[in-house]
Amino acid sequence: MKTAASDKYRPYPTMKLAARRWPDAVIAAAPQWCSVDLRDGNQALIDPMDSHRKMRLWNTLVAMGFKQIEVGFPAASQTDYDFIRHLIEGGHIPDDVTIQILTQAREDLIRKSFEALEGANKVIVHLYNSTSEVQRRVVFGFDRQGCIDLALAGTRLVREMSAQRKGGEVTFQYSPESFTGTEPDFAVAIVEAVAAEWGATPERKMIVNLPATVEMSTPNIYADVIEWFCATVKNRDSLVVSVHPHNDRGTGVAAAELAVMAGADRVEGTLFGNGERTGNVDVCTLALNLFTQGIDPQLDLSDIDAIRRVAEECTGLPVHQRHPYAGELVYTAFSGSHQDAINKGFKARDKANSPVWEVPYLPIDPADVGRSYEAVIRINSQSGKGGVAFVLERDHGLELPKPFQAEFARVVQDHADREGRELAPEEIWLFFQRTYLADGRMQVVDYSTVPVSKGQRALTATLVVDGKERIVQGIGAGPVDAFVHALEKDLGVMVKIKDYHEHAIGQGSEAQAASYVAVAGADGAVVHGAALDASVTMAALKAIASALNRAG
C-alpha cells in the first residue's frame, strides 16, 4: 500500500486508564441480549424484509429466547409501522418479550413512533442522535451544547408521551450514536444530561447504549472506554449499560466480549452478524462462545441449521461456510492429522463415558447445535489413514488394522490427488470393494475341513484360478494354516502370513465376518487382503486370495 495513502488516516486515541480492571474480569453469566435483526439488520439489506419475512424472523427470535427485540423504525417505513401494528394487534408478543423501536430525536418521528406502539404492553423506546465530533461539525453544524439540546428535546418529548401513554410501561433507551467517534468526556456529559431529563433511578433504569457505530479501534480500546465510562458516569446504578458493536475491523465479537468484561450489562446484535457494512456483532457466536465456557447463554441454539436457514431466507444473505459454529464446514476435518485426532478423541470419549467434552479440534460437540457427527470427517488429498478408516468404520463397520489403513489410505490419496477433489464416502467404499473384495485371478468357491489328528485339520478348497476350477488340499493347525499348505503343495504358491485380524460386523443371523491379512510376497513386500463373508473361515480364505491377487 502506498505511504501517501496511509497519510490520510489518523490513529485512534488510546485511553489512559490508571488501573484497568477488565483484563482480569471473567464473564460468568450471559448479558441481556437484544436482537436488532429486524431493524439494524433490516436497514442493511438490498431488499428490506417484507412483513412475511419479518414475521418469520420474529418467530425464530422469540423461539430462541430473546426477551428484547428491536422490531423496527416505525416512523421511517410503512412496512415497519405495519409490522409493529400486526405484532401488537395480532397478540404475537409473549408477555416476557419486550419490543423496542428506534427513533431519531425529531418531534414528528417520535410522535409517529408512539402511535405505532399503541396497545403494546411493555416497550423500549430507543432514541438516538449522533454525538461524534465529525457529525456535530459536518452533519448537524452545531457545538456540544447544540448536540445536548437536541438529545434533551427528544428525551423530553419521549418522557411526556410516555406519561400520556395508556397501557404498559416504557423503558427509555438513549444511544449517543457514533459513540466510537465521540470524545469520551462528551459521551458522559450527554448521557448524564439525558438521564437527568428522563429521571432515571435505580428502580426505573434507563438503557444507555454505547454503539461502535463504526468500529474504529482495537477491541481493548473499546473496552477501556466502556470501563472508564462506567466508572465515571454519575448514577451508574440508574443505568443499564448496553453495547452495540459493529464489525468494521472484523473484531466485533472480541469488542463485545471485552466490553462485557469491562462492565456492559447488555449486548445488541444480530444473528450471524448481518447488519450495516460488515455487520453488527454476531449474537450466535457470542452466545456459543459463552456456552463453550460452561455458561448458559440464555439463548436456544440447539438447532443452528434451522436458525441459519431462516436467517438466510429472510435476509437473502448466505452464512459463510466457515462461519463460527454455524458454517457448513466447521465440523468437518479434511486434513489427516486432524482426522486422526478427532477419530481417537471420539473413541476415547466413548470409552471414558465422560460428560466433559475434549475431542481435539472440535471446540464444541456438534450435537449440541443439532449438527451430526456424520460429516465431521471428509476425505480429499489432504486426508490420512485415520480419516479413511473412520469413514469405513462409521459407514460399514470395518475396523481396519493400522498397517492395512496405511496401505488403503495411499490408494485413496493417489486417487484424490489425481481427481483434485473431495471423495464421497460412497466412492471410498467403492474403492475398497474394487481394491480388496472384487474377484481376481484366484477365487475361493467352497471349502470343507475334517479333523485328522489332535490339533490338525485337513482342508479341501475349491478354487477358480485364471478361470479354471482347481481343488487344493492341505493339513494344518487350523483352516488358515491348512489353506496355506494346500496352496503351496497343489499350486506352488508360497504364502507367508505376516498378520491376520478378524471381527464381526453386526449381530445375529445378519452378522458378517470381516478378515484382514498381510501377506509377504517372494520379494518380502507386504500386501494386504480383505474379505467379508457370513462364515469366518470363508472370510479368512478369501482374504488370503485377495492378498495374493493384489500381489499379482
Ligand X SMILES: CC(=O)SCCNC(=O)CCNC(=O)[C@H](O)C(C)(C)COP(=O)(O)OP(=O)(O)OC[C@H]1O[C@@H](n2cnc3c(N)ncnc32)[C@H](O)[C@@H]1OP(=O)(O)O
Binding site for ligand KIV (CB under 6 A): 40, 102, 128, 175, 177, 209, 211, 213, 244, 246
| Shortest distance (Å) from residue 268 CB to ligand KIV | 7
Tell me whether residue 40 is annotated as binding: yes
Task: Give the nearest distance from C-beta 369 to ligand X in angstroms.
Answer: 30
Q: Is 278 in the site for ligand X (CB under 6 A)?
A: no
Give yes or no for residue 209 binding ligand X (CB under 6 A): no
Q: Which is nearer to ligand X, 140 or 431 (CB)?
A: 140
What CA–CA distance (Å, rounded) separates 354 from 27? 25
By CB under 6 A, the residues from 126 to 145 that bind ligand X are 128-129, 139-140
Report, in Å, the least distance between residue 181 CB and ligand KIV: 10
Give whichever of 207 and 513 is closer to ligand KIV, judged by the CB atom. 207
Applying CB under 6 A, the site for ligand X has a residue count of 15
Rounded to the nearest 5°, which phi and psi values hold at 530?
-145, 155
Name the one range near ligand X by CB under 6 A: 91-99, 101-109, 261-269, 383-391: 101-109
Secondary structure (3-state) at 123: strand
The one of ligand KIV, ligand X, none whose footprint includes residue 73, by CB under 5 to 8 A per kind, is ligand X
| Structure-block grid coordinates of residue 502 | 478378524
β-strand 32-35 against 266-269: which pairing, if any?
parallel
In 3-state terms, what secondary structure has residue 253? helix
209 binds, among ligand KIV, ligand X, none (CB under 5 to 8 A by kind): ligand KIV
Residue window 34-53: x/- pattern of binding to ligand X, with contact defined by CB under 6 A: ------x--x----------
Q: Is 522 helix (H, G, I), strand (E, B) or coil?
A: coil
Q: How far is the CB of 56 from ligand KIV (least distance, A)?
A: 22
Query: Which range of residues in 14-22, 102-110, 111-119, 277-285 is near ligand X by CB under 6 A?
Result: 102-110
Nearer to ligand KIV, 209 or 289 (CB): 209
Q: Which does 140 bind (CB under 5 to 8 A by kind): ligand KIV, ligand X, none?
A: ligand X
Contacted entry of ligand X, ligand KIV, none for residue 244, CB cut-off 5 to 8 Å set by kind? ligand KIV
- Decide: residue 286, CB within 10 A, 0-12 exposed, 13-18 middle, 19+ buried: buried
Cell representation of residue 378: 471428509
- Cβ contacts of 300 within 8 Å, gap of 6 or more: 63, 64, 65
- Please indicate if the annotation marks 246 as binding a ligand: yes
C-alpha to C-alpha distance for 258 and 226, rounded to whole angstroms: 9
The DSSP result for 23-67, as a single string, is GG----SPPEEEE-IIIIIHHTSSS---HHHHHHHHHHHHHHT-S
Closest approach, Cβ 306 to ligand X, in A, equals 28
Number of residues in the chain: 552
The partner in contact with residue 485, picked from ligand KIV, ligand X, none with C-beta cut-offs of 5 to 8 angstroms by kind, is none
Residue 152-191 contact track with ligand X, rule CB under 6 A, x = bound: -------------------------x--------------
Q: Using the rule CB under 6 A, is 213 a contact of ligand X? A: yes
Tell me how far the alpha carbon of residue 95 is from its chain's centroid: 31
Which entry of ligand X, ligand KIV, none binds 270, CB below 5 to 8 A by partner kind?
A: none
Please give the grid coordinates belonging to residue 520: 509377504
C-alpha cell at 464: 477358480
Question: Buried b / exposed e across 85-104, counting CB within 10 Å, b at 16+?
Answer: bebbeeeebeeebbbbbbbb
| Per-residue CA distances from 73 to 102, 110, 360, 372, 486 (Å) | 5, 10, 45, 39, 87
* The Cα angle at residue 230 between residues 196 and 157, in degrees rounded to 5: 25
Residues engaged in binding ligand X (CB under 6 A): 40, 43, 73, 76, 104-106, 128-129, 139-140, 150, 177, 213, 276
Which residue ranges are tagged as binding site? 40, 244, 246, 280
Which residue ranges are tagged as binding site for Mg(2+)? 40, 244, 246, 280
